[in-house]
Amino acid sequence: MNLAYVNGQYLPRLDAAVSIEDRGYQFADGVYEVIWLKNGTLIDEAAHFKRLKRSLKELSIAMPTTERALSIITHELIRRNHAKQGDYMLYIQITRGTARRNHLFPKATRPSLVMTLTRFTPPTEAEINKGVKIITHPDIRWGRRDVKSIALLPNILARQKAGEAGAREAMLVNGDTVTEGSTANIFIVKRGVLITHPADNQILNGVTRLAILALAAKLQIKIEERAFTTKEVAAADEIFISSTTAGVLPVSQLDAKKITVGKIALKLYAAYQDYVSAQC
């Protein structure tokens, strides 16, 4: 049976619930993380928990437990779900808690903590070699995209449009600038240089993004962390996306334009696979 953790209890997932007055439900007043659980190991665990703490701090939401307790709960959820083999997404959501609806922060409310484990299949090598389609879509999100907030309405609308177009991801654009995808970061390669948007308030600083940048530096690939335009993407030699669930995923079509899956993307894919395996 799949068990979820909800505010102190491990419950059958279908019975697990929070109050209708949870501020996550009413205001999207909360943050989340998605971590890859591979054969019992949480990949880049420390980086995900560091980002979770940062997101909470930026929104003045308290940690619902100590860090040590959070880690114990996580590992207990994995144990109770017999999830030590295979690939799962650990989803962690923390909201400001439950209180009568009022825009002001409630004074004496404990944050809500929910965790679930869901099986998933990382892209296969055949999918990596084939690449995926992405579409261009306006970025209509708020000004603090660096916070992993559960307010994902613009993201889901863009992702839905991508799905309707038979695409895996929507490349979000602000005016002329490409920020990231609706659920992933975006990299382009031009003349051997790896280019991605800098980690400012315009994008979520992906944990996978950070790992890729470190691996690229080790492989002596030239890196430019800077804003780039839709024109540059159209003229790029390679495009790929990155996230916890996609890993390094090459793009083979942008809107109507076909793109060849490139050498640098495949090199970084292989390096990332080794990097992940080394943690397990």
Position of tokens 């995926």? 132
Among 206, 213, 250, 276, binds ligand PDD (CB under 6 A): 206
Whole-angstrom CA distances from 232 to 169, 177, 235, 236, 248 are 18, 10, 5, 6, 20
43 near ligand PDD, judged by CB under 6 A:
no
184 near ligand PDD, judged by CB under 6 A:
yes
> What is the smallest separation between the CB atom of 254 and ligand PDD, expressed in angstroms?
18
Indicate if 148 belongs to the active site. Answer: yes
261 near ligand PDD, judged by CB under 6 A:
no
DSSP, res 149: B
> What is the smallest separation between the CB atom of 185 and ligand PDD, expressed in angstroms?
5
Find the distance separating the first CA and the last CA of the chain, reported in whole Å.
Answer: 25
42 near ligand PDD, judged by CB under 6 A:
no
Set 53, 57, 133, 148: catalytic member: 148
158 near ligand PDD, judged by CB under 6 A:
no
Contact call for residues 133 and 257 (beta carbons, < 8 A): no
The residue sitting closest to ligand PDD, measured at its beta carbon, is: 206
Q: Which is nearer to ligand PDD, 19 or 41 (CB)?
A: 41
- H helix intervals, the chain: 23-27, 45-58, 67-80, 125-130, 153-164, 207-218, 230-234, 263-277
Residues 43/45/51/54 CA torsion (nearest 10 deg): 180
Q: What residues are labeled active site?
A: 148
Kindly list the residues in this chain that would bind ligand PDD in the complex (CB under 6 A): 34, 155, 180, 183-185, 204, 206-209, 242-245
